[in-house]
Amino acid sequence: MEDIVFIGDWIKDRLLGSGSFGTVVLWRHKSNDQKLAIKTCKWGDELTAKHRERWSKEVEMLQNCNHPNIVGTKELPPEFKTGLAQANPSKLPILCMEYCSGGDLRQLLNKPDSCGGLKEVQVRKILNDLGSAMRFLHSNKITHRDLKPENIVMCVSDPNSEQSKVTYKIIDLGYAKEIDSNSICASFVGTLQYLAPELFYSKTYSNSVDFWSFGLIAFEIICGTRPFLPNKAPVEWMPVVKKKSHDHICVYETFHNDVSYSKEIFPENHISKPLKALLEEWLKVALEYDPKLRGRDAPSKVTFAIPSEEKGNNVSNVIIFSLLEKVLSKKIIKVFSVTTLSHIAYEIDDATTILTLKSWINKDTNITTDDQILISQMTYIEIGNEELVAKYWNETSVVMLFVYNKKQMIDDNSAPIVPKAVQRCLELHKALYNFKNSQNLYRNSFYFVISQMDIYDALINGIYTRAESLKQESKQLLVKHNTTDKNLGKLLAKVEIVTKMTDLGKHHIKSLKENGVGTNFLGGFGKTFKNADEIVEKTQKLQTAWSQLSVRLQSAARRSNEGISNELNNFVAKYNYQSMFTNAYKIFTSHKKSDFYNENREKERQCPEIVKLCYDCLKLRSKILQELQHQQFVLKLKDLSTEFSKITDIISKATENSDRLNNDLSALIDEFNNCIWSTMSVVVRDADNVADLPYSVVSFQKRDFKIGESVSNHCIPVANTVRDDSIKSLISESLTLRQNHTNLCDKLDSQKKFLQQSIFDFSFLSDA
């Protein structure tokens, strides 16, 4: 096929892969840029009948497996049947498949920055896709037998878009190859590292061989290395692994070459603690050495036969896929503590509240629940204690919430988590390392640099998030301020009315006291006037304080809106881990290419370049934390945080005081009304003459007057013999009295309207 470059409108792009029996070539259509991966068998007459049968079965299986996580087949364009005839001496079916542009999982794992495993989002996605594909195959009675990173490809949708998604797909469903003692002994590399032990020692096996391979891949994508003595060949590590218990998921050599068994994943990884604990339980099921028990819920001690998939009283049930699905369905909230520079995570459910989350954070960071500020990048608003945590859960986010300490922005004394291998090299910088120990040191050192980069990125994002949250907080405070300001304005208007009312009342009472009239009825007003004066004085103090707060808030809001992006960007440009990462990348790749990596593995040597790298990494961390403490944008955030906290308290207290004074004023007005009307009732009841009462109180009607009769019982009868001049005088006085009554009535009507408007005028007391 190497000589064939053009077939019709198709152009050969490149060779994608070559296995023991087949080759896969990428072809591109010159018109529409369509791409196809075409697989042909590279052998001819030397193929046995069994090989031919297996090849044909593979083609048939792929064509019948319609699943999103299994590479799909396409119809072979007619021109390829004739164009590839000379490149297909076996005459076996040509397999036409979809092209997955992301490469395979092995390429991803071989990247230097994957030495400590993949990120949690990637791990979740890979396990979900592989679990779905394997469950489908097993439900269709298909055993892959050769599951390994090389047979898992990445299909990227919209690779040029920021919204591109990666789907992981299984390829090579049962290569046409024999798995016998000859082929096993021929090589100890490649695919053999992922084969289940029974394929070496037993003539029979079940689909549990795929469980073993799946578990090995899962461990490797989490930690960046295989779990069982990865530097040794299968024939060396399998007898050691055979001795492990059910709970052991890892077997490794210590620095002094002792074999150690572990129930835990290596601590150098990028997944959260809750997910780590869940996957450790799942790996115990997947990496069970006994094939009869592997992938199942309970050991079967009754029969030596390999259990079937059917349920029975004496046979356990396959749970590996359902258990993995349950693990991946768990919601884990990821929090970054800006103060302690630490990633923390917790398993939550739909009922978990922020207050509960704060209590968990308190145990890990020693930040009290009252001092914690939780902020999400979704809203940049401080989250209330009663809110549900699930609202802020997002499985694709590295950090879902940031937590801050009200009392301290960043603790520059927080100690980093340093891998044991790195600690040893810093303490014994002239120590000698053999190949196995040096490989572990280089891997852990590069992981350490990457982890510090991740912490630094989270810290910078946390600082930016806090700045944005303070902008939102200033807007919220302005809204609260304006609401309280309106209420205070209404209070001041009410106070102005009460002030006028009391001033007028004081004036009339003073006048009455000077004239010695009606003072025995007005004793209760003194207390009311005193209470009114106290309320007015408190309101004036509140108004003065509020004016000062308004200026203070406007100043803080202006500073918060200035932003810190430019200052933050300048700091990141000056202090960052990019050169550190580049140096670590160079040292790591150089080590893998050195003769130490490929030859003379038993020879011991020093590793000064990696020791210096780890030392420089710690030094840079310390330098960054020291510099941050004195940066203006950090000091600004500290001041604004403290200022907004104080302003919030002041606004709350001002609101409380305003409401209380408003209630006191309402009570005072009610007391005024009660005093006035009580006084008027007493005056009416005790009056000796109707002339002593305001006209509006007497309220004469027309029907009360009769010709020839007096208008009141208080009138003195007059004899008819009165002289004309006396009559004229009485009529004149009567008219004058009537006029006075009319005037008083008008005044009382006016005062009644005044009373309804909570405004009191005591002028009628002087005129009465």
At residue 283's C-alpha, the angle toward residues 278 and 286, to 5°, is 135
Instruction: Report the pLDDT averaged over residues 251-278.
Output: 95
| Cα distance between residue 187 and residue 178, in whole Å | 14
Across the range 162-168, mean pLDDT stands at: 84
DSSP secondary structure string for all residues of 112-131: GGGTT---HHHHHHHHHHHH
CATH of domain 101-329: 1.10.510.10
Which sequence spans correspond to the domains of the chain?
1-99, 101-329, 336-408, 468-564+647-670, 690-767
pLDDT the model gives residue 174:
56
pLDDT band at 494 (very low <50, low <70, confident <90, very high): confident
Q: How confident is the model at residue 601 (pLDDT cuts 50, 70, 90)?
A: low
Over residues 351-370, mean pLDDT: 96
What is the reported pLDDT for 613?
95
Comparing 90-94, 458-462, 493-497, 707-711, the range with the smallest average pLDDT is 707-711
Query: Comparing C-alpha atoms, which of 694, 664, 662, 679 is closest to residue 526?
Result: 679
Confidence of residue 314 (pLDDT cuts 50, 70, 90): low
pLDDT: is 450 or 436 the higher one?
450
**For the residues 414-438, what does the mean pLDDT come to?**
91
pLDDT over 70 at 287, yes or no: yes
Is CATH 3.30.200.20 what the domain over 1-99 is classified as, yes or no?
Answer: yes
Residue 58 binned pLDDT confidence (cut-offs 50, 70, 90)? confident
The confidence score (pLDDT) of residue 687 equals 57
* C-alpha distances in Å from residue 246, one per residue of 285, 295, 366: 8, 11, 37
Can you say whether residue 15 is alpha, beta or left, with left for phi > 0 and alpha for psi between -120 and 50 degrees? beta
pLDDT at 180 over 80: no
3-state secondary structure of 599: coil
- CA distance from start to end of the chain: 125
- Could you check whether 1-99 and 336-408 share the same CATH topology? no
pLDDT computed for residue 597 by the predictor: 59
The phi and psi torsions of 729 (rounded to 5 degrees) equal -65, -40
695 has a pLDDT exceeding 50: no
Q: Determine the Cα–Cα distance for residues 231 and 244; give it in Å rounded to an integer.
A: 18
- Average pLDDT in the chain: 83
Q: Per-residue pLDDT for 761 more than 70?
A: no
Rg, C-alpha atoms of the chain: 45
pLDDT in tens, 446-488: 999 999 999 999 999 999 999 999 999 999 999 999 999 999 9
Q: Which CATH number fits domain 336-408: 3.30.70.20, 3.10.20.90, 3.30.450.40, 3.30.1280.10?
A: 3.10.20.90
What pLDDT score does 177 carry? 35
Q: Dihedrals φ, ψ of 196, to 5°? A: -70, 150
Whether the per-residue pLDDT at 319 is higher than 90: the answer is yes
Residues above pLDDT 70, as percent of the chain: 83
**Coil, strand, or helix at residue 280?**
helix
pLDDT at 731: 59
